[in-house]
């Protein structure tokens, strides 16, 4: 399953408004003990997670951005260069200055459904993702938590869909459309049958079972016309396309709902952020591969 750069760019301002500042600050304090933390971003899309989080971290950062779609990796490269104050390039890496931050970024094409072991050999200090785990299976979530815990990395995932939607003004088909959309969400998106709205609960449970400290926050999109009209329209179109695949509502009902939703004045879409921090104890040893990620870096 893939997402277009256009959709990801359209949703980025709403994502930025919604994500939990408190959890981001808590992670920043945790990573402050590292002079140069390495952050592994799973399903990076166009790099929005880096753009949101990096300004709150320390002055030197290494990021590894992972996606299966080469078009998204190219888009992330271009978006990050445009976002930075200055940039230099080498093969699959870029070296950015943004304000007082020096951020070295490597891009990796990988199929996350095949597992995380190779990526975790880089010994990241933090594994992060945005709007990913509601597309993953219960088994994948449990396995990812166990493997990340063995690596000792912190974990932050943001904007995991939780199944809550409220559209204003209300429409008679709201409940039927939502039920059909959630049914579609629970189908296989490439990671096995998706956890969908249960993903946040399963993530918290999985990390609690490996003795991580788990902090959560409700982070809904609050979309209002006319500011967010383009995103509301794109969201409604995507929901209708998914709902029609399920055949749980009639085409007439779905299209009637869609027409009404193009005029929606306010939309609330539920998400949750989850931060999981490893047990306190002696500093873990970085894998040698971590130091090799950005070997021979040119100065910006």
Q: How far is CA 205 from CA 112, 125, 145, 208, in A?
A: 21, 21, 9, 5
- CA–CA separation, 62 and 34 (whole Å): 11
Superfamily (CATH) of domain 5-162+193-220+270-282: Vaccinia Virus protein VP39 (3.40.50.150)
Helix or strand holding residue 6 (H, E): helix 5-18
Average pLDDT, the chain: 92
Asked if residue 107 lies in contact with residue 275, where contact means CB atoms within 8 angstroms, the answer is no
Give the model's pLDDT for residue 90. 81
pLDDT digits (tens, 9 = 90+) for 142-193: 999 999 999 999 999 999 999 999 999 999 999 999 999 999 999 999 999 9
- CA–CA separation, 209 and 205 (whole Å): 6
Q: How far is CA 30 from CA 27, 45, 155, 180, in A?
A: 5, 25, 11, 40
- Provide the whole-model pTM: 0.92
Rounded mean pLDDT for each run of 10 residues along the chain, 300 residues in total: 82 97 97 96 97 97 97 95 94 92 97 94 97 96 97 98 97 97 94 95 97 98 97 96 95 96 97 95 45 44
Helix or strand holding residue 66 (H, E): strand 60-67
268 forms bridges with which residues in the sheet?
A: 166, 222
Q: Nearest CA to 273 among 104, 27, 63, 77?
A: 27
| Structural tokens at position 94 | 């870029």
């Amino acid at each position: 399953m893939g997402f277009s750069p256009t959709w990801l760019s359209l949703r980025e301002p709403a994502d930025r408004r919604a994500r939990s500042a408190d959890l981001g600050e808590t992670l920043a304090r945790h990573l402050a003990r590292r002079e140069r933390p390495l952050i592994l971003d799973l399903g990076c899309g166009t790099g929005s997670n880096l753009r949101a989080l990096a300004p709150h971290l320390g002055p030197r950062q290494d990021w590894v951005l992972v996606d299966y779609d080469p078009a998204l990796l190219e888009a992330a490269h271009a978006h990050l260069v445009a976002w930075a104050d200055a940039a230099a390039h080498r093969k699959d890496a870029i070296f950015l200055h943004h304000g007082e931050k020096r951020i070295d970024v490597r891009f990796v094409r990988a199929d996350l459904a095949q597992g995380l072991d190779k990526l975790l050999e880089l010994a990241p200090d933090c594994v992060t993702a945005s709007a990913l785990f509601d597309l993953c299976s219960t088994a994948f979530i449990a396995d990812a938590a166990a493997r990340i815990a063995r690596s000792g990395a912190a974990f932050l995932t943001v904007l995991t869909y939780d199944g809550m939607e409220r559209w204003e003004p209300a429409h008679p088909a709201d409940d039927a459309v939502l039920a059909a959309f959630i049914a579609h969400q629970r189908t296989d998106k490439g990671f096995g049958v998706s956890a969908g709205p249960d993903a946040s609960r399963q993530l918290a449970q999985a990390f609690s079972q490996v003795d991580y400290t788990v902090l959560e926050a409700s982070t809904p999109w609050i979309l209002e016309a006319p500011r967010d009209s383009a995103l509301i329209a794109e969201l409604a179109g995507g929901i209708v396309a998914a709902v029609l695949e399920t055949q749980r509502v009639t085409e007439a009902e779905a299209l009637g709902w869609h027409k009404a939703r193009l005029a929606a004045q306010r939309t609330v879409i539920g998400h949750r952020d989850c931060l999981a921090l490893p047990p306190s104890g002696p500093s873990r040893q970085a894998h040698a591969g971590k130091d090799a990620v950005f070997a021979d870096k040119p100065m910006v």
